[in-house]
Amino acid sequence: MNIYDQRPGQEYSTAGIVDFAKVPVPAIYKAGGKWNTFEITARGPRIIVVFNDQTAVDFQHGAFTQGPFGLQFANHGKVPGGAIKWRKVQVREL
């Protein structure tokens, strides 16, 4: 799930999942410059992304039924502006 408002492919910008779940274009989900809340639910093949209390993505794909997850900052050598910080990251089994 992306947190990158200025991503060149806007269909996968903030709250989108690259190559799997698009968001509306022009982008309506903006994360830059403020604290945001994401709730990501992965249950079997279904993934739901809620961004600031608004469901942004709800899709199913068999590739995501199990496995690890990670938090990363990857902007391909470009600095889109400011640091990326996480707080209150919580993981629980469903």
Ramachandran quadrant class, 52 (left: phi over 0; alpha: psi -120 to 50; beta: rest): left
pLDDT tens-place string over residues 34-56: 999 999 999 999 999 999 999 99
| Distance set, CA 56 to CA 20, 32, 68, 80, 81 (Å) | 13, 16, 22, 22, 23
Where do the domains of the chain lie? 1-88
State CA 29 to chain mean position distance: 10
**Is residue 74 pLDDT above 80, yes or no?**
no
* More confident: 15 or 64: 15
Please give the model's pTM, rounded to 2 decimal places. 0.84
Tell me how far apart the alpha carbons of residues 47 and 35 are, in angstroms, rounded to a whole number.
Answer: 22
